[in-house]
Structure 1
Amino acid sequence: MDKGKAREVKAQATDLVRELSERVVRPSDLADGGPALAIGLAPQPDGSYALAVRYRLGLPSVRSIARKVVAEVGPDVDVRRTGRISTLADDPTKVRPRPPVITARSLGETGRVRPLRPGVSIAHVDVTAGTLGAFVHKDGVVHALSNYHVLSGRPQARVGDVILQPGPADGGRSPRDQVGTLAARVDLEPGRDATVDCALALLTDQEVDPEYPVGRITTTAVALGGEKVSKIGRTTSITYGQVTAIELDNVVVGYGEELGELSFDNQIEVESTGTGPFSRGGDSGSLVFREDGVALGLLFAGSESGGDNGTGLTYLNPIDAVLDALGVTLV
């Protein structure tokens, strides 16, 4: 199918999922009022698209809906099972949907780094550790870009709160390791669909090192699917992957006790092209970019299982949606 036809099929499949959910899904299989089943577009080797169907393991009635969608659509379907999808930093409420970030297992930069650079450990003073994804300009001033759940953590956080590098899980302490303050965020609310998980830290020291392994990244693009990508993160350092789905709606992500499970629309999926995972806990906030140094997305969530090598799938907010939501540009 071409992209236009695939989008039509996606709309029809979404309606079918909604209809079946009211009749088939058991209450125990619901995630925040809906099934943990995402629908999007899956790129094919010949440049066409199939319908992407992603459903959570362990939910029998959700699996039943996925099978009915496949039967209705026909052969042009790419179906993948995932584990529970959760944010990729420790839950600030300490009700952890994923294993804790552990400094001893980290391949990335968990120590104190000055000047600041992409890929290092960073977090709100009450969070554990995530990744500094990029530097951005807002009103001519340099800020650090990462996730809401890294730089804010919870609804009670306020502009002006302390941001540490390294994050507290990696030994960061205030005031010794303060590098800035929470400057802005896009709020996340239970029961409301989201598109981005992002926040900004106003940096005390404006002298930063914006270089990535591929050089400086100042341009962005919309993910088309199939792109070879990379990221540098606090936990798994430099990893490589491929975009396996775009425009995914209803990606259900666990945020712990306070926010529960939130549904995200228009997301990007990446799987590892190596023997290990593309991301793990603590990599939240990493910028994901093409081999030519063009940014595609901001990493925020993933599963422990799924993907061709069984090490999980990673989910990104489209980078242009992130930048537009915060009113910033890449440095």
Structure 2
Amino acid sequence: MDHGEARKTKAQAVDLARELSERAVRPAHVAEGAPALSIGLAPQPDGSYALAVRYRLGLPSVRSIARKIVAEAGPRVDVRRTGRISTLADGDDPAKVRPRPPVITARALGQTGRVRPLRPGVSIAHVDVSAGTLGAFVHKDGVVHALSNYHVLSGTPQAAVGDLIVQPGPADGGRAPRDRVGALAARVDLEQGLDATVDCAIALLDDQEVDLEYPVGRITTTAVALGGEKVAKIGRTTAVTRGHVTAIELDDVVVGYGEELGEIGFDNQIEIESTGSGPFSRGGDSGSLVYREDGVALGLLFAGSESGGENGTGLTYINPIDAVLGALGVTLV
């Protein structure tokens, strides 16, 4: 299918999936009325697209819905199973202050220590959150801010503009006022039960002198993911990892946010699969900027699945970068 035909097929499949989901009997941990599976477009080697269908392991009713979608859509379907999808801050519950034991930091491959000047890929967080990743530097009204996720720089709906941001994050030993680097400046709110597109926030930095270099050099331009791109990221936990885009325009990606926010569905998301022996991301990599091999930004990393992917280490989900920048009214420095 070409892009246009694939989008039409997707729209029909999404409507059918939602209709079937409303009738499904679901376990207690799956929110009532929540979509049972995610549907998007899967790039094919010949440049065409198949229908991407993603569903959770361990849910027989969901597997049944996936089979009906496949039967309706025909042979051009890419079906994958995943575990639960959750945010990737370092900690059991990003809505609570729960720093991990020092051994977790010791095993991290990325930069978990104090870094000045600030640079992409280092540990950072709201003073009451565990730890995530500083993804990029952006301009808002001509002033440099740090870009990461809502659940990294804000954490809960109770957080407020002006709250302290520390580097490294609390899970890595960061404390205020000693490790203060700025203050929460803006965020895109997330609400339980409402669909979302982006998980993002920015912090106004105390020191405007920053290191803009990534492993591929400076990243100043963005692009829309078309599928199949070879990508990389630098994160607090797994450092530099590589992968490729396995699905685009995924709707109804249900992500767990802990007790306070519950599960939130995201539309128009991008899926990344690792091309190495390990995962593309782990807890603590939330907020990483995902970029093409030529140094063009594609998205902001925010969630991952327990399992799935070619090597079984899970799939990673990212917000389209242009949607992130537009929602916050910022541009890459």
TM-score range for the pair, normalised by the shorter chain length = over 0.9
For residues 70 and 38 of structure 1, the distance between their equivalents in structure 2, rounded to whole angstroms, comes to 13
Query: Secondary structure of 2:291's partner?
Result: strand
Query: Secondary structure of 1:211's partner?
Result: coil
- Counterpart residue number, 1:41: 41
For residues 27 and 305 of structure 2, the distance between their equivalents in structure 1, rounded to whole angstroms, comes to 22
Task: Name the amino acid aligned to 1:108.
Answer: G
Query: Secondary structure of 1:238's partner?
Result: strand
State the Cα distance separating 1:27 from its structure 2 match: 5.6
- Counterpart residue number, 1:326: 328
Task: Name the amino acid aligned to 2:115.
Answer: V
- Counterpart residue number, 1:261: 263
Query: Secondary structure of 1:64's partner?
Result: helix
Query: Secondary structure of 1:54's partner?
Result: strand
Task: Name the amino acid aligned to 1:69.
Answer: I
For residues 237 and 210 of structure 1, the distance between their equivalents in structure 2, rounded to whole angstroms, comes to 16
State the Cα distance separating 1:110 from its structure 2 match: 0.2
Query: Secondary structure of 2:152's partner?
Result: helix
For residues 107 and 323 of structure 2, the distance between their equivalents in structure 1, rounded to whole angstroms, comes to 32
- Counterpart residue number, 2:246: 244
State the Cα distance separating 1:22 from its structure 2 match: 2.6
- Counterpart residue number, 1:82: 82
- Which of 271, 274, 280 does residue 273 from structure 2 map onto? 271
Structure 1, unmatched stretches of 5+, are none
- Which of 167, 171, 174 does residue 172 from structure 1 map onto? 174
Task: Name the amino acid aligned to 1:31.
Answer: A
State the Cα distance separating 1:58 from its structure 2 match: 1.0
State the Cα distance separating 1:33 from its structure 2 match: 2.0
Q: TM-score, normalised by structure 1?
A: 0.97
Query: Secondary structure of 1:274's partner?
Result: coil
- Counterpart residue number, 1:290: 292
Structure 1 residues 300 and 132, CA, compared in 2 at 3 Å: closer, same or farther?
same
> After superposition, what is the alpha-carbon deviation per residue over 1:299-325, rounded to whole angstroms, capped at 9, x for unaligned?
000012100000000000000000000
- Counterpart residue number, 1:307: 309
> After superposition, what is the alpha-carbon deviation per residue over 1:88-146, rounded to whole angstroms, capped at 9, x for unaligned?
003233498x9999201100000000000000000000001000000000000000000
Structure 1 residues 146 and 232, CA, compared in 2 at 3 Å: closer, same or farther?
same
Contact 2:87 2:94 in 1 (8 A): no
- Counterpart residue number, 1:220: 222
For residues 136 and 72 of structure 1, the distance between their equivalents in structure 2, rounded to whole angstroms, comes to 44
For residues 100 and 328 of structure 1, the distance between their equivalents in structure 2, rounded to whole angstroms, comes to 35
Query: Secondary structure of 1:102's partner?
Result: helix
Task: Name the amino acid aligned to 2:188.
Answer: V
State the Cα distance separating 1:29 from its structure 2 match: 7.0
Higher mean alpha-carbon deviation, 271-280 vs 13-22, is at 13-22
* 2:108 equivalent to 1:106: yes
State the Cα distance separating 1:74 from its structure 2 match: 1.2
* 2:31 equivalent to 1:16: no
State the Cα distance separating 1:208 from its structure 2 match: 0.1
- Counterpart residue number, 1:132: 134
> After superposition, what is the alpha-carbon deviation per residue over 1:211-250, rounded to whole angstroms, capped at 9, x for unaligned?
0000000000000000000000000000000000000000
State the Cα distance separating 1:21 from its structure 2 match: 1.7
Contact 1:29 1:61 in 2 (8 A): no
* 2:18 equivalent to 1:50: no
For residues 35 and 306 of structure 1, the distance between their equivalents in structure 2, rounded to whole angstroms, comes to 19
Contact 2:21 2:33 in 1 (8 A): no
Task: Name the amino acid aligned to 1:88.
Answer: L
- Which of 115, 118, 140 does residue 116 from structure 1 map onto? 118
- Counterpart residue number, 2:3: 3
For residues 139 and 187 of structure 1, the distance between their equivalents in structure 2, rounded to whole angstroms, comes to 21
> After superposition, what is the alpha-carbon deviation per residue over 1:27-56, rounded to whole angstroms, capped at 9, x for unaligned?
647435223300000000000000000001
Query: Secondary structure of 2:67's partner?
Result: helix
For residues 101 and 25 of structure 2, the distance between their equivalents in structure 1, rounded to whole angstroms, comes to 29
Query: Secondary structure of 2:78's partner?
Result: strand
For residues 73 and 36 of structure 1, the distance between their equivalents in structure 2, rounded to whole angstroms, comes to 17
Task: Name the amino acid aligned to 1:74.
Answer: G
For residues 78 and 183 of structure 2, the distance between their equivalents in structure 1, rounded to whole angstroms, comes to 43
Identical aligned residues as a percent: 86
Structure 2, unmatched stretches of 5+, are none
Task: Name the amino acid aligned to 2:246.
Answer: T
For residues 116 and 305 of structure 1, the distance between their equivalents in structure 2, rounded to whole angstroms, comes to 33
For residues 94 and 291 of structure 2, the distance between their equivalents in structure 1, rounded to whole angstroms, comes to 27
Higher mean alpha-carbon deviation, 11-20 vs 144-153, is at 11-20
For residues 127 and 101 of structure 1, the distance between their equivalents in structure 2, rounded to whole angstroms, comes to 18
For residues 305 and 330 of structure 1, the distance between their equivalents in structure 2, rounded to whole angstroms, comes to 32
Q: TM-score, normalised by structure 2?
A: 0.96
RMSD of aligned Cα (Å):
1.7
Query: Secondary structure of 1:22's partner?
Result: helix
For residues 12 and 97 of structure 2, the distance between their equivalents in structure 1, rounded to whole angstroms, comes to 37
